[in-house]
A and B are shown apart, each in its own frame.
Chain A
Amino acid sequence: MKRSTTVYYFDHSATTKPNKEVLDTFVKVNETFYANPASLHEMGVDSNSLLSRARKQVADMLKTEESKVIFTSGGTESNHFAINGLARTLQGRGRHIITSSIEHPSVLESMKQLANKGFEIDILPVNEKGVISIDDVKERLRKDTILVSVMHINNELGSIQPIKQLAEVIHQHSRAIFHVDAVQSFGKYPITFPLIGADVLTLSGHKFNGLKGTGIVAWTGHVSFEPIIVGGGQEFGLRSGTVPVPQAVAFAKAMRIAFENQEAMQTKYIQWNEKLRNFIRNFKDIRILSPEDGAAHILTVSVRNIKGEVLVNALQARGIIVSTSSACSSKQTKISHVIKAIGLPDGYTKGVIRISLGTSNSDEQIDYFIENFTAIIKQVKGD
């Protein structure tokens, strides 16, 4: 079949294309404010004030203080820093940590490392919707629980965790710090500290039309971290390495654009999700895995007795880009830990595809998907 030249990109949860304005800002800062923000000369001072401004914008949007935001190289480093940095600081108080079975690999792998170092990692199961139970958390909280790390929106299913209620329970019944991986939710849901109740948050720029290699950790209240990357003592001594000012400014810009467009985009995602759902429901042997009350921008489905890779390729031949589950695990042939966690009937575990919506989509693109999907399914099933 002839390969389609137009790209219908439905893999925004893997990564997004940078916004034009973000890109322009990035180029401009690189050209003008290239000095090292730690340098004492005027050019360095100028870079540094630009960096502070970016930091303040980020802090303001999240409703925290400027001194409680650090820039990192992305979501993975942010999660790693938050979890290890907290665990190392708090280990004197206890070594019990709670997380869920459907976290991003950057969280789960960090937990595995901590388990090797003698921390006790308590992993919460999820129901068929991919949601943890608050009572379950309540029961597991102990005197020596130092950290609870639960993601807001799951990257493979779009399940939304009851973060706010969770925060209340955690804070009421323990002294544990509550870390939330909000990488998939920023720009799709209103995210501020008062709204979600977390103590520590991680965000990644390239998931909301920012640049790759950019992320932050932000926190509120009295939280202290032991640094992971050491050296020149940048970022309040918490994260060493010359701070890439152009990236920091671009991050703040991408955040602001996503923040301002969030409501309008959310309305779109809800419409598109409904349309796609209603359409896919007609297929007897396709199971919709994303819960109805989940995030609208992620719609994960499974086709019975078909391999996800086959579907991805067939859709791609018509210019439709989707992924199997998450990009981070798509090279592995084994079934994703998230898919395992929700428990699927036989025949449905291998045919998973994720349709993830974003700012590059339009009504026409959704229509195109719908127009072509039936034929593609017929083709792969050899009907």
Chain B
Amino acid sequence: MNRIYLDHAATSPVHPQVINKLVETMEKAYGNPSSIHATGREARKELDNARLILAKSIGAKDQDIILTSGGTEADNLAIFGTAYARKNLGSHIITSQIEHHAVLHACEKLEKEGFDVTYLPVNEQGQVSIEDFKQALRDDTILVTIMLGNNEVGAIQPIQEIGLFLKDHQATFHTDAVQAYGLMPISVEDLHVDLLSVSSHKINGPKGIGFLYQRKATKLSPQLFGGQQERKRRAGTENVPSVLAFAEAVSIAQETMDEKQKLYQNFKEIMISTWKDKGIAFQVNGNVQSTLPHILNVSFKGTDVEALLVNLDMAGLSVSSGSACTAGSIDPSHVLVAMFGENADELRNSIRFSFGYGVTEDDIMEAATKTATVLNRLVK
């Protein structure tokens, strides 16, 4: 059976060019970049080049990039690092109810330690309101952390507006750009953010690598101690092959961004029109106009998500009910709860389709048709 993988927001296959880069580097630049001999220096040079590619992709400088083991570590570093470095300036933190768990659980942990956290609500489109944000902001707010694009429904948040509003405020502004990165142009200057997290495996790079952008002079206390790597901001032997491969994935993602946006928009239209033609009762969760291009979250009336997932899987479609990260459980999505309330039907009948490298129009037509067939069988 032809398996169609439409779960690219959970993780994505590594691009063949990226694999080549990875293997090539492991064979050639295997030195420890902290070593002073030639093998080490060569690895250092390659690492510096790669770091520059990462930096340029968001309009930053190379020294602003802290390499991490992935998006979760980057988010944790941003949140714990800011909270501990700036607790003398206040204890208030603002985030939203629809953040990734790497942000939410970090904030909850800080709450237990005595920090005061405001979780901003979202509207039915999954967006934070700038008015709510302004009301929540206090003189003693030290950190605002709001994601750029949501991982479950794709809702894009008003980051630039918040950033502009914070220009004359003491709060450090962090955005989790893990899902948005590579699919929409990002400039840390335009967005006015101080910290921004990115993960490699969402954009066809290797797993286990990511970065945190840190604007110059933004205070951050390190969370991992040891050697002097990453300008003392993150210890541990640099993962040179993965960083180089990540940079390769970034280059590809930047080059193909326009193309992907158009392609995925087309994918969404195909799925939606197929289901309309076949008389499926559904509704798109979130506003298609302000959603990340690769995410389509749909509520299918009169179905149950567990039965739906099992049947779609048997039909050869790898999709998900929300984020993969709530390891192995189908607890109601906190994002859908925030959008629709605790008792809404959408919590029990929504599916996330997410697109990425290798998915073709034919795959999408087949997936849309198969989904319709499964639905017709389930909803009698």
Which chain A residue has the least Cβ–Cβ distance from B328?
A: A38
Residues from chain A with a CB closer than 8 A to the CB of B72 are 229, 231-232, 240-242
The answer to the question of A270 belonging to the interface, with a C-beta cut-off of 8 Å to chain B, is no
Binding stretch for chain A, among B165-173, B239-247, B361-369: B239-247
Verify if B31 is at the interface (C-beta below 8 Å from A): yes
Chain A residues contacting B75 (CB-CB under 8 Å) are 231
Q: In the complex the two chains form, is B105's CB within 8 Å of A230's CB?
A: yes
Among B201, B317, B319, the residue within 8 A (CB) of A242 is: B201
Query: A229 — which chain B residues lie within 8 A by C-beta?
Result: 72-73, 76
A328–B237 CB distance below 8 A: yes
B256 on the interface (CB 8 Å rule)? no
Measured CB to CB, the nearest residue on chain B to A237 is B327
The reply on B320 being an interface residue by CB < 8 A is yes
Nearest Cβ distance between residue B363 and chain A, in whole angstroms? 14
Binary contact readout A21-53 vs B (1 if CB under 8 angstroms, 0 otherwise): 001001100110011101111111000100000
Beta-carbon contacts under 8 Å, B68-118 to A: 68-73, 75-76, 100-103, 105-106, 109
Q: Do A106 and B208 touch across chains, with their CB atoms under 8 A apart?
A: no
Which listed segment binds B: A10-18, A93-101, A127-135?
Answer: A10-18
CB distance from B243 to the nearest CB of A (A): 9
Candidate in B10, B23, B208 with the most chain A CB atoms within 10 angstroms: B208
Query: Bound complex: CA of A41 vs CA of B310, how far in Å?
Result: 7
B-contacting residues, A68-103, CB 8 Å? 72-77, 79-80
In this complex, which of B34, B238, B312 has the most chain A Cβ atoms within 10 angstroms of its Cβ?
B34
- Per a CB cutoff under 8 Å, which of B3, B13, B39, B237 touches A206? B237
Q: Which residues of B contact A185 (CB under 8 A)?
A: none
Q: Are B106 and A231 in contact (CB under 8 A)?
A: yes
Contact pick for B106, options A17, A18, A230, A330, CB 8 Å: A230
Which residues from chain B contact A48 at a C-beta distance below 8 Å?
328
Contact B236–A73 (Cβ < 8 Å): yes
Per-position binary interface string of chain A over residues 112-138, scored 1 when its CB falls under 8 Å from any chain B CB and 0 otherwise = 110000000000000000000000000
Question: By the criterion CB–CB under 8 Å, are B324 and A44 in contact?
Answer: yes
Given contacts A31-B13, A242-B11, contact A233 B73 (CB under 8 A): no
Which A-chain residue is minimally distant from B235 (CB atoms)?
A: A76
Residues of B within 8 A of A324 (CB): 36
Cβ contact of A74, chosen from B39, B237, B319, cutoff 8 A: B237
Q: Are A244 and B201 in contact (CB under 8 A)?
A: yes
CB distance from B314 to the nearest CB of A (A): 8
Task: Name B's interface SS.
Answer: loop
Q: Say yes or no: A76-B30 contact (C-beta < 8 A), given A105-B227, A231-B325.
A: no
Name the residue in A34, A109, A241 with the highest tally of chain B Cβ atoms < 10 Å from its Cβ. A241
Instruction: Say which size band chain B's interface belongs to.
Output: 35 or more
Q: Which of B26, B224, B236 contacts A23 (CB 8 A)?
A: B26
Q: Is the CB of B37 within 8 A of A212?
A: no
Contact of B207 among A77, A231, A246, A322 (CB under 8 A): A246
Q: Residue B206 contacts which of A11, A30, A234, A316 (CB distance < 8 angstroms)? A: A30
Contact present for B324 and A39 (CB under 8 Å): yes
Contacts of A27 in B (CB 8 A): 19, 22-23
A228 with B36: CB separation less than 8 A: no
Give residues of chain B (165-214) contacting chain A, Cβ–Cβ below 8 Å.
199, 201, 206-209
Supposing A36-B10, A323-B37 touch, asked if A331 and B228 sit within 8 A by C-beta, the answer is yes
Count chain A CB atoms within 10 A of each CB in B3, B27, B228, B237 and give the residue with the most: B237
Residue B321 lies at the interface, judged by CB distance under 8 Å to chain A: yes
Q: How near does chain A come to B122, taking the closest CB pair, in angstroms?
A: 20
Within 8 Å of chain A (Cβ to Cβ): is B249? Answer: no
Q: What interface size band does chain A fall in? A: 35 or more
Chain B CB within 10 Å, residue with most, of A16, A31, A41, A72: A41
Contacts of B35 in A (CB 8 A): 11, 14-15, 323, 327, 330
Tell yes or no: A6 within 8 A of B by CB: no
- CB 8 Å contact bits of A326-342 with B (1 = contact, 0 = none): 01111110000000000
In the bound complex, how far is the Cα of B35 from the Cα of A313, in angstroms?
12
Report yes or no: B37 in contact with A231, Cβ–Cβ below 8 A: no
Known: A231-B100, A241-B102. A34 touches B13 (CB 8 A): yes
Contact with B along A235-275 (1 / 0, CB 8 A): 00000111111110000000000000000000000000000
Are the C-beta atoms of A40 and B226 separated by less than 8 Å? no
With both chains docked as a complex, state the minimum distance between the C-beta of A78 and any C-beta of chain B, in angstroms: 10
Contact residues of B between 1 and 20, Cβ < 8 Å to A = 3, 5, 7, 10-14, 19
Q: Is B226 within 8 A of A109, CB to CB?
A: yes
A231 to chain B, nearest CB (A): 3
B36 touches A330 (CB 8 A): yes
User: Of the candidates B3, B39, B229, B324, which one forms a contact with A7 in the assembled complex, judged by CB atoms under 8 Å apart?
Assistant: B39
On chain B, the residues within 8 Å of A104 by CB distance are 226
CB distance from B277 to the nearest CB of A (A): 26
A242 and B36 contact, CB distance less than 8 A: no
A244 touches B208 (CB 8 A): yes
A76 to chain B, nearest CB (A): 4
Contact of B7 among A35, A204, A331 (CB under 8 A): A35
Q: A76-B227, A211-B26 are in contact. List 19 more A-B contacts (CB 8 A).
A: A7-B39, A15-B237, A27-B19, A30-B19, A35-B11, A39-B11, A41-B320, A44-B10, A77-B69, A106-B225, A106-B235, A106-B236, A110-B225, A113-B225, A204-B237, A212-B239, A230-B105, A240-B325, A328-B229
19 inter-chain pairs at a CB distance below 8 angstroms, sorted by A residue, are: A26-B22, A27-B23, A35-B10, A36-B7, A40-B321, A40-B324, A73-B70, A79-B226, A110-B225, A204-B237, A212-B239, A213-B239, A241-B73, A242-B11, A312-B36, A323-B35, A327-B34, A328-B229, A329-B228
Q: Enumerate chain B interface residues (CB-CB to A < 8 A).
A: 3, 5, 7, 10-14, 19, 22-23, 26-27, 30-32, 34-40, 68-73, 75-76, 100-103, 105-106, 109, 199, 201, 206-209, 223-229, 235-242, 309, 312-313, 317-321, 323-328, 330
A-B CB proximity, top 8 nearest:
A232-B325, A106-B226, A73-B69, A231-B102, A109-B225, A244-B207, A328-B227, A213-B239
